[in-house]
Amino acid sequence: MELLNIPSNLLIIVQMRKGYIMKKVSIIVPVYQVERYLRKCLDSIVNQTYRDLEIILVDDGSNDDSGSICDEYSIRDSRIKVIHQQNIGLSGARNKGIEIATGAYISFIDSDDYVEPSFIEELYKSLVNNKAQISVCNISQENEDMSRDKLLIKNINTSSVFNNFEGMKNLLQLNSGFMGYVWNKLYDITLFKDIRFPVSKIYEDTFTVYKLFSKSDQIVYTNATLYHYVNREGSITSSKNIEKKVDFILANKQRYEFIKNEYKGLDSLAFTTYCISVISILNEYIKYGKSTEDIEKHLKNVQGLMFEKKYKDIPVLYRAILFLTKTNFSLYKRIINQYYLIRK
């Protein structure tokens, strides 16, 4: 498909008629081994209704045709910049994009996902009109074969503006709040002045997004479903390299320690997510017959904290699980193994 390069002065006139003056938005797309999905992703980006974009594609050492596809699109659209680098991982690719971004605002799109045509425009209008530093939209999660399509943000039914405390609270809400992903959001680029994604870690979003929220005076949410998250086999967090999934525990622990010190009243929520991360990764280790030694130090930590008065609001189910792992770990392992046998 042939793409048009619209003169900047015409873009300004168009945006003035829409009621706002636009500023450049940088979109960072880390690319690795996604030739099957990449064109759909890039088509959804280059056809955004918000035209003043800087599209940064970071080819992180792909050995399929992903790099060639990036180059092809850069020839067709002058807004696209392509970086080819040796593989250093998702965090390193995003960080490289941040370093060269020149926009006033920044967004991230994973190269196996895609977005609605108004993704940037809706987020931008919400952010600017409400003098916010982060804007958030709803997410549709779907499988590769489109067999499942569900909304991930369930309990915020209307577009809303949140102050710093309420924004952080919604980020921590289990299975209902803003979600801790970096990619269904638009950010004021100044938030990244001293924040980068952790290299050599997975669950890099969990390590990072709360830090961005902590620096934001206002966060705005639009209930429109603008981001499509494609859940596919082979993606980093769905892979069976479960030893790396300990990073999920480390990220939640770091976030809990930060919240405990900086957000009085939210430490119980943060501790609950820390507990859940320990339990969920422990269960995976048991499922795949891995030694749980690396998990047990974290397990002992949350077991020791769960009976403190300030954590009395932790759901009963998680309290019961932690109690059983403390009193009869071998029984708990048998229960988990039986559970996964039944689910097969």
Higher pLDDT, 343 or 252: 252
Spell out the domains of the chain, with CATH numbers in brackets: 8-231 (3.90.550.10), 242-343 (no CATH)
- How many residues can be counted in the chain? 344
pLDDT tens-place string over residues 163-184: 999 999 999 987 667 888 999 9
* Cα separation, 130 vs 50, whole angstroms: 18
Read off the pLDDT band of 302 (50, 70, 90): confident
C-alpha 316/C-alpha 258 separation (Å) is: 25
Instruction: Return the H-helix or E-strand segment holding 275.
Output: helix 267-287
Q: What does the pLDDT read at residue 227?
A: 95
pLDDT (tens digit per residue) in 51-68: 999 999 999 999 999 999
DSSP state, residue 198: P
Q: Which 3 state secondary structure label does DSSP give 190?
A: helix
Q: Helices 267-287 and 329-343 sit at what angle, rounded to 10 degrees?
A: 70
Integer Cα distance of 324 and 114 in angstroms: 42
Single-letter amino acid code for the residue at 179 = M
The CA distance from 167 to 180, in Å, is 12
- For 150, 184, 262, 270, the CA distances from 113, given in Å and listed in that order, are 15, 11, 34, 28
Report the amino acid identity of residue 330: S
Contact 198, 156 (CB under 8 A): no
Residues 112-133: tens digit of each pLDDT: 999 999 999 999 999 999 999 9
Per-residue confidence at 153, pLDDT binned at 50, 70, 90? low
Burial class (CB in 10 A: 0-12, 13-18, 19+), 202: buried
**Helix (H) / strand (E) containing 114:** strand 114-115
β-pairing verdict for 160-163 and 218-231: antiparallel
Contact 66, 136 (CB under 8 A): no
Q: 305 or 2: which carries more pLDDT confidence?
A: 305
Q: Is the pTM value of this prediction over 0.85?
A: yes
Residue 242 pLDDT > 80, yes or no? no
Q: Is the pLDDT of residue 3 over 50?
A: no
Coil, helix or strand for 106? strand
Contact 198, 208 (CB under 8 A): yes
Residue 4 has pLDDT above 50, yes or no: no
Residue 231, class by beta-carbon neighbours within 10 Å (0-12 exposed, 13-18 middle, 19+ buried)?
A: middle
CA distance 46 to 207: 29
Q: Are the C-beta atoms of residues 140 and 227 closer than 8 Å to each other?
A: yes
Q: Please, which pLDDT band fits residue 81 given cuts at 50, 70 and 90?
A: very high
Question: What residue has token string 């009976």?
Answer: 307
Tell me which residue of 227, 248, 202 sits closest to 142, measured CA to CA. Answer: 227
The sign one gets for the Cα dihedral 218, 176, 208, 199 is: negative
**Where in 166-217 does DSSP place strands (E)?**
185-188
Following DSSP, what letter does each residue of 230-255 receive, concatenated?
A: EE-TTSTTTSS-GGGGHHHHHHHHHH
DSSP for residue 222: E
